[in-house]
Every structure is written in C-alpha cells, then in structure tokens.
C-alpha cells in the first residue's frame, strides 16, 4: 500500500477548537468548522459536477428506467396471487426479480467479478461506477479509534483516500463510528459476502479518504463503531458482500462534495450524534468538524451516488438525507424500518439551488415502525417507482417548494388510522399554491383505503407522448422488492 500517506496534525492543534467555533456558524449545515481553501475547492468542483450531471429532460431517465423493468421481466409471468401475497422468507434457488439485481445477483462468480456491479445502476444514479477504475481495498479492522490518523485496514482509512477504491470487507463486522465517516469521490462500499452493520457511534470517519479510485471490500465479519462521522471521498465503492458488516452505535456516514460513490450491502442502525472535532477527510487534509446530525447516511453537495441493498433503522435524525445541491442519486433495493423521519431530500425552503436535485427511489421496502418522510422533498425532481409501502403512521410522501414527484407502480397499504390514509402531504403552502405542483400517480396500487392526492398539469417533456413507457404496475411490487435490504452472499454461490 505504498504511497498511501497523510500529514500528522501540528502539536497543540486541538486548542484551536474554540477559534474554529467562531467561524462555524456560516457553514454549520456542512458541519465544517474551518471553511478553508481545501473545502472551497471541493465545493467548486462539486458544483461543476452537479451542473454536468443534471438532466434537462428528466423524463428521458424515467422512461429508460421503466423500459429496463419491462425488459427484465421473466418469460414466465408470476401468478397474481404470488405478487400480492404476504412477505415470506425465500428459501428457493436464487431469483433476481428486478433489472438491477438481474444484472449481477444470481451469478456464482460475483466474488471474482465484483466490479460487474458497477454496470448495474439505474435511474438518475445510472452513471455511478464508484471505484471501478481503482484497486480493491479490504477492510480487516472494525475499530475506529483515531479519526485524524486512521490505521490502514480500517474503513475510515480507505474512504478518505484520494484515489478510486472498491472497498470490501474481509470478515463479518459491526462498526461503531466515533465520528462521522466522510466518503470521497470514486468510491464503492460493497458489503456482499459479509454481514456489515453501521450502528451507534458518535462522529466522523479512514479507508475512504484516499483520492484515487478504490473498490473497498471487508476481510471478515465485523462491527464498526465510528468514533466520528465517516467521510467518503471520490471514486469509491464500499462493497459489503461476503461478510456481515454493521455500522452501529456510533456516528454517521457522510458523502460531502464528492462524486461517484457506491455503498452496497451493509447494515446501518442506531446512529447517534457525533461530537465533532479534528477529523481527517483526505490523506493531505484534516480540519475541525462541528457536531454531526446522527443520520444514517448524509449525501451533501454530491453527484452520481448509488445506495443499494442497505438495511437501515433507528438513527437519531434521518435514515437518508440528500441535501445541498446533490443530484444524480439512486436509492434502490433498501429495507427501511423503525424510524420517524425516514428520507429528507432538500433541507431548506430557502435553498433554491436544490432545483437541480434529481433522485430515483426504486425497489425499496418501507417496512415496520416508519412514521413519515418516505421521502419528504423540496425543489427538485423525484421519481418514486416500484416501491412497497407497507407501513406508515402519519404520511408517506411529502414536500414543499414545488417539487416534482412522479409516483409510478408503487404499492401503498394505508394504516388503520382513518386520519392517515392519505399518502401525500403538501407542506408550507395553501391549496391555491400546491394545486400547481406536479405530483402524479400512475399504475400505483392502493390498499386499505390509501389515496394519493395528485396535482399539477400535464408533464412537459421532449419525448413524444406515444413513446412514454408505462411503469410496471404496483401489483408486481411484492416480487420486485422481495429481496430488499442487505442480503447474505457466500463466495462461489449466488447471492
């Protein structure tokens, strides 16, 4: 691993804590205590990437997505009774039921051809390749003891590297982040072949800070308690296949001002606030970070990000937040449970730059113990397609500031509470205003009295109306989402 280096903090640098607090107010949303030249440069690069990623006609992407679902359909159509049946543990041979999974899952050579995953993304995050251009990095150490000088072998050391990396796990592990884990550009976090859980820690994050492309894997099962937030840099894949890896009882995972990141097949739960402090985010830079929020995963000012086959639950703030001009994001095949504020897309009614935000939410199971925000949207364009909404207590999908929400082929099962049958919630506006917001429902399946309040006029697109492809109907959702969440993978056998 020659060439992987960092600079040690100067003696006494921690005494700058009070000084940094004075400048923290202006950048508190970014958790940056010292908005220095390093972060200014990263923001300029992130803004340029967002502009380049933004699709002028988003319906070209939604159309391509629906086409892919239809093309991936098995020749033998499953019986309707199977599609609508209750979820049961699947005990048969490997069965990939949606186009993302069919691209890689039922192959017994996945462990020797891990990077095949990089060609499988769909939706607005479809150009995400993570650490495809980089080396494999194997996580063998589940500790998170030093957030300024993380040890080689830890997850934190891999995600801050400047080079592209594909990160995998060498064993099953539970990771308690001491502070937030920040993931940089061109990274893939791939949990296949291990059980990986991120849970209860308190702050920020090692292996993901390198600037070169890397594919990071895990060498064994492990529990990782992050001391502070884990910050993942550019061109990284964190690949949890082949081990059981949990990030838990610690700080959150953060993708901030980064490009090209995949996080795959890990558990994230019981995340708490990070205290902040001096945190390294690249081999050549560390700085003061304010308190992290306690989200499961935060995507801040980042582009081309794909979250796939994650199991998330019970975090202090949100499970997944996508904010601050992030775009080109796909969240797919995830299982979300036991949480209040599930997904936040756009964090401020005053931040109009989030009009550039474009996100695909597909093949996810919104399960037991969820309350609201699945997602809660501002400003941008959101394709919510072929998800299974089996539980909510208040509402499922909400928004403010004129977001475009296209709901297609989802199944919505309303709770018993008569006051919570409405799927949608328009926030911060009178009906005279929100009636013009484009919130459309097509081929959705409504059960137990669920209903979607549509609004807005006709869809504006350059695509000829006759060429618009209908989504797979909501009656197919149980099959499409049957394997949502982290899945067991053993080398030499299909996942």
Q: What is the set of active-site residues?
A: 373
Q: Would you give the distance in Å from CA 139 to the centre of its chain?
A: 20
Calculate ∠ Cα 100-103-108, nearest 5°: 125
* Residue 382 CB contacts under 8 Å (≥ 6 apart), including other chains: 345, 357, 358, 359, 361, 375, 403, 404, 405, 406
Residues 370-385, buried b or exposed e (16+ Cβ, 10 A)? bbbbbbbbbbbbbbbb
The neighbouring-strand residues paired with 485 are none
Whether the CB-CB separation of 359 and 405 falls below 8 Å is answered with no
DSSP-assigned states of every residue in 211-275: BS-EEEEEEE-EE-EEEEEEEEEEEEEEEEEEEEEEEEEB--EEEES-EEEEEES-EEES---B-
Cis peptide before 306 (omega within 30 of 0): no
Question: How many residues in total does the chain contain?
Answer: 495
Whether the CB-CB separation of 435 and 455 falls below 8 Å is answered with yes
CA separation for the pair 298, 204 (Å, rounded): 12
The Cβ of residue 393 has, within 10 Å, a number of other Cβ atoms equal to 12
Calculate ∠ Cα 160-163-164, nearest 5°: 100
Whether the CB-CB separation of 94 and 495 falls below 8 Å is answered with yes
Whether the CB-CB separation of 290 and 24 falls below 8 Å is answered with yes
Exposed/middle/buried for 416, CB within 10 Å: 0-12, 13-18, 19+? exposed
Phi, psi of 336 (to 5 degrees): -120, 130
């Amino acid at each position: 691993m020659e060439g992987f280096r960092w600079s040690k903090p100067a003696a006494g640098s921690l005494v700058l804590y009070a000084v940094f607090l004075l400048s923290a107010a202006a950048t508190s949303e970014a958790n940056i205590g010292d908005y220095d030249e390093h972060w200014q440069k990263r923001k300029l690069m992130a803004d340029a990437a967002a502009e380049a990623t933004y699709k002028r006609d988003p319906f070209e992407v939604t159309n391509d997505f629906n086409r892919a679902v239809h093309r991936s359909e098995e020749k033998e159509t499953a019986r309707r009774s199977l599609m609508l049946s209750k979820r049961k543990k699947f005990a048969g041979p490997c069965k990939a039921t949606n186009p993302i999974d069919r691209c890689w899952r039922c192959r017994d050579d996945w462990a020797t051809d891990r990077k095949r995953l990089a060609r499988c993304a769909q939706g607005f995050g479809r150009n995400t390749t993570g650490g495809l251009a980089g080396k494999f990095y194997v996580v063998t150490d589940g500790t998170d003891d030093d957030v300024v000088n993380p040890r080689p072998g830890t997850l934190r050391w891999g995600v801050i590297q400047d080079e592209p990396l594909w990160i995998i796990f060498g064993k099953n592990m539970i990771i308690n982040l001491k502070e937030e884990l920040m993931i940089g550009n061109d990274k893939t976090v791939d949990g296949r072949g291990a059980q990986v859980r991120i849970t209860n820690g308190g702050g920020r994050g090692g292996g993901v800070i390198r600037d070169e492309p890397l594919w990071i894997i895990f060498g064994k099962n492990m529990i990782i308690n992050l001391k502070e937030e884990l910050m993942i840099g550019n061109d990284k894949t964190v690949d949890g296949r082949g081990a059981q890896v949990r990030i838990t009882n610690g700080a959150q995972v953060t993708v901030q001002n980064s490009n090209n990141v995949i996080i795959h097949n890990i558990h994230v739960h019981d995340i708490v606030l990070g205290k902040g402090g001096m945190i390294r985010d690249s081999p050549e830079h560390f700085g003061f970070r304010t308190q992290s929020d306690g989200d499961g995963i935060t995507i801040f000012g980042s582009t081309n990000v794909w979250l796939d086959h994650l199991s998330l639950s019970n975090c202090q703030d949100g499970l997944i937040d996508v904010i601050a001009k992030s775009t080109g994001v796909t969240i797919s095949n995830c299982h979300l449970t036991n949480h209040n504020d599930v997904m936040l897309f756009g964090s401020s009614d005053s931040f109009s730059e989030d009009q550039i935000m474009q996100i695909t939410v597909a093949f996810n199971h919104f399960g037991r113990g969820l309350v609201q925000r699945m997602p809660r949207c501002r400003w941008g364009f959101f394709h919510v397609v072929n998800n299974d909404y089996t539980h909510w207590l208040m509402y499922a999908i909400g928004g403010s500031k004129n977001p475009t929400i296209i709901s297609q082929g989802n199944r919505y099962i309303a709770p018993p509470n008569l006051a919570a049958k409405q799927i949608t919630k328009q926030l911060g506006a009178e009906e005279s205003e929100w009636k013009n917001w484009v919130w459309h429902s097509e081929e959705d399946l409504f059960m137990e009295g669920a209903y979607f309040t549509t609004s807005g006029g006709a869809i504006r697109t350059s695509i000829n109306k006759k060429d618009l492809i209908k989504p797979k109907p909501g009656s197919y959702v149980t099959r499409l989402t049957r394997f949502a969440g982290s899945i067991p993978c053993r080398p030499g056998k299909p996942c």
